Chains A and B, each alone.
Chain A
Amino acid sequence: DIQMTQSPSSLSASVGDRVTITCRTSQSISNYLNWYQQKLGKAPKLLIYAASSLQNGVPSRFSGSGSGAEFTLTISSLQPEDCATYYCQQSYSSPFNFGQGTKLEIK
């Protein structure tokens, strides 16, 4: 199985801040890395697929980068509605594991 390690596990930032979340995998997965946003009590929502492709309808302040075994999700200018937990997920090989999540709070 491919192990996923997200950091940090939680962070607090102010509106307008640039926020970066990192995801590391236990082996190279090319660019088969996806990012999801989950708001409290809701289903996850796809933000970024194939490491850097923005899903339709997702604001352009979200971006993804990386390849191999290290990836980042960046929010360029944090907005109040970005308060959520963010998960990375590898779609390289079964089982399609998720990271443990990063809880993002607004100061």
Chain B
Amino acid sequence: GENVEQHPSTLSVQEGDSAVIKCTYSDSASNYFPWYKQELGKRPQLIIDIRSNVGEKKDQRIAVTLNKTAKHFSLHITETQPEDSAVYFCAATVRGGADGLTFGKGTHLIIQP
């Protein structure tokens, strides 16, 4: 089955700096890659996703890049703000949607004032 590795497990950055979280996946047939954000004590929420036919997707300060050859994808957050502090989960699936998602173990992003 699919295996998703996520790094780093904890990331601390200064407010205003950029943050990058990286994930690798094992199944080359994977075709859908969402990112979920979970603030402390709250439920996970989808923040951005990308399909295998696209190399990059942006939404304001966040972007996701996908390298199918290397089987890795990354989340980029620019101009970080205190409200970006949260645990971020990447996921991958071969089934094209929410069905069959395998999640990474999460990255705890800490924004230092």
Tell me, yes or no, whether A binds B. no
Residues on A lying within 8 angstroms of B by beta carbon are: none
Residues on B lying within 8 angstroms of A by beta carbon are: none
